[in-house]
């Protein structure tokens, strides 16, 4: 069984939650059942109780300042302690940055960390998403792989993957390895130096023709986690 932890606010955590679509895609890709859990319910004890083979933390459009930090204590402890293979996507990836770059129990509110402001003459992509003046990546973007890692098996040094974000990790967390970057986002992908704990800013789960490198990355992650992956396309 695979566990998907949703980063959506509790009011949006229902059948319309983005975790539902991710659940279906992972079930199609691996042939394994997927359980979803809200981030405020996730901690070492609750995750150990369901005993997943792998964990995925989703993205979310909810700004960091709207999230009650105390609701993150359990998932913070999970990130620091779990030995279960874990892949964090988009806001889940940023959660790794917040959790390892600061003590969450000593802060009252987490900041948004935008990539950058829009350049002069550049389309205001953030305005459509409610953040005027800030660059918002919302397309398939070229990402450069900086170092070899089993999660990139079968891929070249550049991949095109789906981006949908305004914020990013600003500082590489201590104990992590920098795996990939793009023109506008430095830390596109990172990995813990001692555990199968990955963070990716992009949405590997949103692959589509002709850009299917995200599917390969997910398949490789599940192989590393010991999860059987379906060989046919999904």
What is the per-residue pLDDT for 228? 79
The region that residue 195 occupies, defined by phi over 0 for left and psi between -120 and 50 for alpha, beta otherwise, is beta
Question: Domain for residue 88, yes or no?
Answer: yes
How many domains does the chain divide into? Answer: 1
Beta bridge pairs of residue 211: 208
Q: Answer whether 190's CB lies under 8 Å from 169's CB.
A: yes
Question: Domain for residue 234, yes or no?
Answer: no
Per-residue pLDDT of the chain (234 residues; tens, 9 = 90+): 999 999 988 766 554 555 778 898 899 999 999 999 999 999 999 999 999 999 999 999 999 999 999 999 999 999 999 999 999 999 999 999 999 999 999 999 999 999 999 999 999 999 988 999 999 999 999 999 999 999 999 999 999 999 999 999 999 999 999 999 999 999 999 999 999 999 999 999 999 999 999 999 999 999 999 997 765 565
What is the per-residue pLDDT for 15? 45
Q: Which residues have a catalytic role annotated?
A: 90, 203, 205
The whole-angstrom separation of Cα 61 and Cα 136 is: 12
Question: Domain for residue 23, yes or no?
Answer: yes
What is the per-residue pLDDT for 13? 56
**By residue range, what is the domain housing residue 77?**
2-224
Q: What is the CATH number of the domain that holds 124?
A: 3.40.50.880
Give residue 145's Cα distance to chain centre: 17
Question: Domain for residue 50, yes or no?
Answer: yes
Question: Domain for residue 229, yes or no?
Answer: no
What is the per-residue pLDDT for 89? 97
What is the per-residue pLDDT for 11? 66
């Amino acid at each position: 069984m695979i566990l998907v932890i949703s980063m959506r606010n509790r009011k949006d955590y229902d059948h319309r939650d983005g975790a539902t679509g991710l659940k279906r895609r992972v079930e199609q890709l691996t042939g394994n059942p997927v359980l979803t859990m809200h981030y405020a319910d996730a901690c070492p004890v609750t995750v150990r109780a369901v005993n997943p083979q792998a964990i995925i933390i989703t993205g979310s459009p909810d700004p960091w300042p709207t999230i009650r930090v105390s609701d993150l204590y359990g998932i913070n402890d999970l990130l620091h302690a779990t030995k279960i293979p874990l892949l964090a996507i988009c806001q889940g990836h940023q959660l790794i940055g917040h959790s390892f770059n600061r003590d969450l129990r000593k802060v009252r509110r987490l900041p948004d960390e935008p990539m950058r402001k829009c350049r002069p003459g550049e389309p205001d992509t953030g305005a459509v998403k409610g953040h005027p003046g800030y660059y918002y990546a919302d397309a398939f973007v070229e990402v450069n792989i900086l170092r070899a890692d089993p999660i990139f098996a079968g891929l070249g040094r550049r991949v095109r993957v789906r981006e949908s974000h305004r914020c990013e990790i600003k500082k590489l967390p201590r104990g992590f390895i920098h795996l990939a970057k793009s023109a506008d986002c430095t830390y596109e992908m990172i990995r813990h130096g001692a555990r199968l704990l990955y963070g990716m800013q992009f949405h590997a789960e949103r692959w589509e023709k002709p850009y299917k490198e995200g599917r390969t990355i997910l398949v490789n992650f599940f192989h590393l986690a010991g999860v059987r992956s379906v060989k046919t396309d999904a």
